Chain A
Amino acid sequence: MNLDEIRTFRNHPTVILSQTVASGVILSLIMYFTLIDSLKDFREALILIGVMVAVIASISYVYWKKTLYVFTDTEINVTRDMLLSKSDKHIQYSRLASVTVRRDIFNRIFGTSTLMFNVNSSVNATSAEATLTLKRVSADILRDRLNALVFSKDMPLSDETEVHTMIQVTNTDVILHSILGQSTGQQMFGLLMFIYAVVTLFTNNGGGFVTAVLLMAISTVIPFISSLLKYYNYRVFRIGDTVTVESGLFSTTRRSFKVNKINSVRMRSPLIARLLGKTILEAEVVGMGDQDDGRSPVLCPLKRTSEVECLFRNLVPELYFESEPVHQSRAALMPMLVSNTVLAAIIAVVLIALFMTDAITSGMTDTWSLIVRSTELFAAFAIALLLYARVGMAQRHRSFDMGEDSFLFVHGAYDISREYISYDKVQYFTVQGGPLERMSGVASCSVYLMSSSGFRGVESGLFPPEELERISAEVDARISDGRYDYRRYL
């Protein structure tokens, strides 16, 4: 295939089959759970499913037939000429943040690859602007051509497989990442549900057991499996200004994005990982949320902090700087302690009131119900303890520093993130302080920027407002004195 001659594409016909099968399975499940009682027999259900599958296949066929992708010198033009609607989408190459190659089960069976084009916009950041499925060879050639055109990267895909990863991520690292990379809240919730499931199993509370197991599966087990499948065989490398991340067990994904599309880089350490001296490296790149359930793409799964920092320095030196961060002053302790004491007191009052109400109404005659109910008192104590521990950790870790092209916020409490944010990517900025903060002469600030899932605010710790406003002043100064040049980010 020569792209100079052939510039108009249609999806590979197998997308009709994959769309039909995927939609058919979902519809059949919905039908099974909603209509199962009203159907007379199994044959009737089969006929209904058959009709639905035929309708879905027909719609998929019309979509396939009527959708064309034209690659010009400057843009991708996606046209869809349907009976009732007509669409004509123009995606300029300059707006592309990344081109992702996905190979899922269907792609592997049919020998195809799906190209996903993500634009640099906070609107629809969680879904690709356009997707195109082609025979694998054709998809690789098209991607190479686009890489050369959009990312100024001339290396063909076949050669990229020879490029060495910038950090060795073993599959043991991936397993550890899948368990310890989850937030502490998520891990604690999973553990609580596990304990609750065990307790309800011994107290013969069948409904409670099923609910606890389901909640544990949704909050902890499914994310663990999904993370394991996603980051298996992990590779990351940089060619010129393009970073490429490749991973996956059953469904291999290869994503490329220009360094100038990275808004911030974050070294994230959930509590247990931090105690083990391990960190995850993530980047905020617009349009990448579709592959990570709205989360930021991972530049390095959980590894030793020193190795991750070394990778960061080599992979994205544009945002890295040697920092001597300013820590939160002791003045920040008072507002945190007072607000958390009030919160702990409210929670304690509610839980003690619940305990007293139960004691009065049920009489609490048997030992077991007394033990169960006393968990309310224990919870009041444990929550207060957790809140004070949170204050201690926040005070110890939160800091900030300003570099030449980026600034650093260290935020969080149990889970600490060191986030390096480019001044040029700050969209707007808010400094805020409640009465307690104002009394102590401190404030926090929220920096708003485009993110993988649209936009987000990054909140700092508590510092003197004049110090925080220096960041906004630097953003303005870079715009007015020309250090910010929009052409660097096209």
Chain B
Amino acid sequence: MKGRTSDQFRVDENGMTSDGYHCLVPASRKSMYIGNSIAFAIAAVLLIAAYCYVGASVMAYQALIRVSIVVLLLLVAVYCFASPAVYYRRYRYRIDDDKVDIRKGVVTISHTMVPIERIHQVDVKRGPINRAYGLANVQITTAGGLVTIEYLEEDIAEDIAERLNRRVVGILKQRV
């Protein structure tokens, strides 16, 4: 990945990379910010509740625990509020005749490749936050686990799911 990181995520005016990857729509960032804010609030409430519950029984370590909680919450906050912009900028996906290809990541960048031949099932999933922004995820089920193409516009998600399902059914029909 040395020397290629910036190139592989550079997009042209049509929102495509030079090797034909699609990027996300701007609304996906809003969905990520809201999702991350909720996750941060839950993490903060759980940490503070845990501190209130056990804090009294470990008087000697209270200062240490308080400092750890503040540091941890600060790190989580920085990640939650900085990550959507990076995730949005780096997220790319491509579907060709043979495979589904997804590049994504904030700190760790991953490149996932799913041969279409291995796909068992394709679903479109809409959570409440994504639904508010007209977004959906395409969930691909293989025998080795799940792979998700995230934050797609609903019509694009439906279209991808239909294309993949048609392709999978086609492969199964060839086998009969």
Contacts and interface: CB of A to CB of B under 8 A. Distances in A.
A207 interface: no
A472 interface: yes
Nearest to A490: B175
B127 interface: no
B170 interface: no
B118 interface: yes
Given A428-B118, A441-B1, A443-B1, A433 B109 contact: yes
B109 A440 contact: no
Nearest to A123: B143
Contact of B1 (A428, A465, A484): A465
Nearest to B144: A427
Contact of A438 (B2, B117, B145): B2
A358 B1 contact: no
B147 interface: yes
Interface string A425-448: 011111111110111110100001
B112 A428 contact: yes
Contacts of B175: 486
Nearest to A120: B143
Max chain B C-beta neighbours (<10 A), residue from A433, A465, A484: A433
Contacts of B57: none
B142 A427 contact: yes
20 contacts: A121-B143, A357-B60, A427-B142, A427-B143, A427-B144, A427-B145, A428-B112, A428-B115, A433-B108, A438-B109, A443-B1, A448-B142, A450-B143, A455-B144, A457-B144, A469-B111, A476-B98, A476-B115, A480-B98, A484-B117
Interface string B106-146: 01111111110110000000000000000000000011110
A353 interface: yes
Given A122-B143, A449-B144, A430 B60 contact: no
Contacts of A438: 1-2, 5, 109
Contacts of A479: 98, 115, 117
Contact of B144 (A122, A472, A484): A122
B55 interface: no
A361 interface: yes
A122 B144 CA distance: 7
Interface string A465-490: 10001001001100110001010000
A354 B61 contact: yes
A386 to B, nearest CB: 23
B94 interface: no
Contacts of B142: 427-428, 448
A439 B5 CA distance: 10
Interface of B: 1-3, 5, 60-61, 63-64, 98-99, 105, 107-115, 117-118, 142-145, 147, 175
Contacts of A439: 2
Nearest to A451: B144
Contacts of A449: 143-144
Contacts of A440: 2
Contacts of A472: 113
Contact of B145 (A428, A435, A465, A475): A428
Given A357-B63, A475-B115, 9 more contacts: A361-B60, A428-B115, A430-B112, A431-B111, A438-B109, A450-B144, A479-B98, A479-B115, A479-B117
Contacts of B118: 426-428
A429 B1 contact: no
Interface centre among B3, B107, B112, B144, by most chain A C-beta atoms within 10 angstroms, is B144
B145 A455 contact: yes
B110 A432 contact: yes
B64 A354 contact: yes
Contacts of A480: 98
A469 B2 CA distance: 14
A486 to B, nearest CB: 6
Nearest to B2: A441
B51 to A, nearest CB: 16
Nearest to A443: B1
A431 B110 contact: yes
A437 B1 contact: yes
A355 to B, nearest CB: 11
B22 to A, nearest CB: 19
B53 to A, nearest CB: 20
Contact of A432 (B3, B111, B115): B111
A438 B175 CA distance: 42
B97 to A, nearest CB: 9
Nearest to A447: B144
Contact of A358 (B60, B98, B99, B145): B60
Contacts of B2: 438-441
Residue in B108, B113, B142, B175 with the greatest tally of chain A CB atoms within 10 Å: B113
Contacts of A432: 105, 108-111
Contacts of A357: 60-61, 63-64
Contacts of B108: 432-434
B110 A428 contact: no
A448 B142 CA distance: 9
A83 to B, nearest CB: 33
Given A354-B64, A455-B144, A429 B112 contact: yes
Contacts of A430: 110-113
